[in-house]
Structure 1
C-alpha cells in the first residue's frame, strides 16, 4: 500500500533541513501543516520518524532507513517531471574532504566552468567521511568503498611526503652544510635520517593521534621515531600545511595539496622518500543514477583530472 504521498516531500524536507520551521518556509506552508503531515505519515507507518527534545530534532533509526529508501524515488520523480517539461537539471552537489576541496578541487573549477558553463556545482565540505545519501550530495569523494547500491571508482592512492618553505629549506641547507641539490639529496637520504634535527609538524586528522604520521614515515625507512624531535602539533592537515608555509618546520602532506596548476608553489617537496597511508580515495555515486547527464559530466571530468595524481 502506498503511503500518503503528500507527506513524503514534507518528510524529506524536515529530514534534510533538520527543522520543522525551515521545512515550512521552504514548502511555503505553516509549521502546523508540516507537523500534521509528519503525524499522518508516522501513523500510517506505525513508527516514530523523529526524536524531538526541545528544539533538538533528529531522525530515529526507522526514520533514517525510510529516508534512504524514498529519497532517490522522490529525486527520480522530480527529474522525470523536469524532463517532460523540457527542463534540464544543471545543479549538482559534490561532497568532498575539506583539504581536497581547498587545495585540489577549487583551483580546477575555472576549467570545469569553461567546459560546462551551465553546470551549477555546490560543494559540501566534510571533515570526516560524508554520509553516502542523496540528502547529503549527488556525488562523493570518499575513502569509503562499500555501500549497497553505490558505484565506487578509484581516484587516488594517498601518499605523504615531507615539504617545507623555501626559507626553511635554506635553513636546512645551512645546518647540513650543503650547497647543491645533489648534496642535499644525498644528505637527506642518509641513515639515520637528518630530518630528526629539525622541527617537524604533525597533524591529527589522518591517524587520529599526533606524531603517528612521522612515526610511520620513519618506520618506512626502518628507523624508530627519535625521541629528541621537537614537534609542532595541529589538528588538521590543512593547518600543518599552512604552518609549513610560514616556516615553522617540515610537514607531511599529500600529493593533491601540492597544486601543480599553481605556478608559484608555496611549499617545496624535499628530495627524500614518502610513504603510502593506505587510504584510497574513491568517486562514489548511486548506481541507479549513473545514466543521468549531469552525473556523467562531472564524473568524466573528475576522473580525467585525477589522472594528474597517478
Structure 2
C-alpha cells in the first residue's frame, strides 16, 4: 500500500550512502560488496534513476541519491527512536541524541561508534532533523550550531570551528590564493534552512569587509546535498573545516586556501538537566565533553 521498493534495497542504499563506500557498507551489513552493488542496481532500476556516481576512489551521491538518503536517514532514525521507547520497557541502557544529517554523517556516527566500543552495554540512538529540536519527551540531548535560545535545557559548548570555502579539488586548486572579489564571483552553493543560526555566505563575505553577494549561485535545504554538489564541481560551499574534515581527508573536497574566518558560534550539546538524565545519558554527556575542546 505504500508503493515502496524492497526494504532490503533501501537499507543497503542507506548504508552505502552513509559510508560513501560499497565495501564499508558490505562490512556493516555482513554481505559481499558485490551483493551491495546488486541491491543498489536493483533500486536504481526500480526508481529509474542513478543514485551513485562510481569514482575510482569510491562513490558519490547524485542529486536524486542525496535527496533519497536525507529522507531515509531521518526516517530510519525516527523508527529507531520509536523502537527505543519500546525496548526501554525491558530496562535496556539507551540514550537518544539529536543532530542534523550533516553532523550525524560527518561527526557523530564515528564518535558514537567509539563510545559504543568503550561502553558496549549502552546503545545510542540518533534522531536526525534539519528543523531543529524542542523538548521532545524521548530526546536526552542534541547537538546544534549556536545556542538554542528557545530551550531552557543545559547548553554545553563543544568546539568552535573555522569557516572556509570548499570545492572539488580541481576548482579549489585553481582558486587557491584568489582575492575575495574573485571568490565572490564564483558559483556559490547557499544553504537555506528554517534554523537561522547557521552562518551564510553573506555573513562570511561581510565579516571580511566585502559586500553581500546576494543569492548568486543556487540554494539547497540540506547541507550534505550542498557538499555533494560541491564535490561534483557545481560550485563552492561554505565549509566548517573540522566538521567536513572526513571529506577533506578523503580527497573528495579541498579548501580554497587564502580566506577564512573563525565561526561566529560554537557547536553546543543541549541536554536535559543532569538530574533528569539517566546514568547512561550522563555518561555520554561527560564523554562528549571530554573529547572536544
Tell me the TM-score normalized by structure 1.
Answer: 0.56
Note closer, same or farther for the CA distance 1:290–1:282 as it changes in structure 2 (3 Å cut).
farther
* Deviation sequence 1:162-205 (CA, Å, 0-9, x none): 001112224x25xxxxxxxxxx43xx2x4x52213422211212
Q: Quick one: which of 136, 141, 148 aligns to 1:144?
A: 148
Q: State the partner residue of 1:177.
A: none
Q: State the partner residue of 1:205.
A: 193
Q: State the partner residue of 1:91.
A: 94
Q: State the partner residue of 2:239.
A: 253
CA RMSD of aligned residues (A): 3.3
* Deviation sequence 1:129-175 (CA, Å, 0-9, x none): 20123x13112223415644x322111345432001112224x25xx
* Deviation sequence 1:18-72 (CA, Å, 0-9, x none): xxxxxxxxxxxxxxxxxxxxxxxxxxxxxxxxxxxxxxxxxxxxxxxxxxxxxxx
Q: State the partner residue of 2:210.
A: 223
Alpha-carbon distance between aligned partners in 1 of 2:260 and 2:194, rounded to the nearest angstrom? 15
Q: Quick one: which of 100, 103, 109 aligns to 1:100?
A: 103
User: How far has the Cα of 1:244 moved from its partner?
Assistant: 0.5
Q: State the partner residue of 1:123.
A: 126
Tell me the TM-score normalized by structure 2.
Answer: 0.59
Note closer, same or farther for the CA distance 1:253–1:280 as it changes in structure 2 (3 Å cut).
same
Aligned residue for 2:204, secondary structure, equals helix
* Deviation sequence 1:212-247 (CA, Å, 0-9, x none): 8222222122121357x9512222222211111111
* Equivalent residue pairs, number: 205
Note closer, same or farther for the CA distance 1:146–1:205 as it changes in structure 2 (3 Å cut).
closer
- Work out whether residues 130 and 222 of structure 2, in 8 Å CA contact, stay in contact via their aligned partners in 1: no
Q: State the partner residue of 1:57.
A: none
User: How far has the Cα of 1:301 moved from its partner?
Assistant: 2.2
Note closer, same or farther for the CA distance 1:91–1:259 as it changes in structure 2 (3 Å cut).
same
Structure 1: state its 5+ residue gaps.
Answer: 1-74, 174-183
Alpha-carbon distance between aligned partners in 1 of 2:189 and 2:292, rounded to the nearest angstrom? 27
User: How far has the Cα of 1:260 moved from its partner?
Assistant: 4.5
1:113 to 2:116 alignment: yes
User: How far has the Cα of 1:293 moved from its partner?
Assistant: 2.4
Note closer, same or farther for the CA distance 1:224–1:261 as it changes in structure 2 (3 Å cut).
closer
* Deviation sequence 1:82-116 (CA, Å, 0-9, x none): 9xxxx964111111222211211112233122111
Note closer, same or farther for the CA distance 1:89–1:248 as it changes in structure 2 (3 Å cut).
same
Q: State the partner residue of 1:132.
A: 135
- Work out whether residues 201 and 213 of structure 2, in 8 Å CA contact, stay in contact via their aligned partners in 1: no
Aligned residue for 1:297, secondary structure, equals helix
Q: State the partner residue of 2:280.
A: 294
1:266 to 2:252 alignment: yes
Larger Rg: 1
Structure 2: state its 5+ residue gaps.
Answer: 1-84
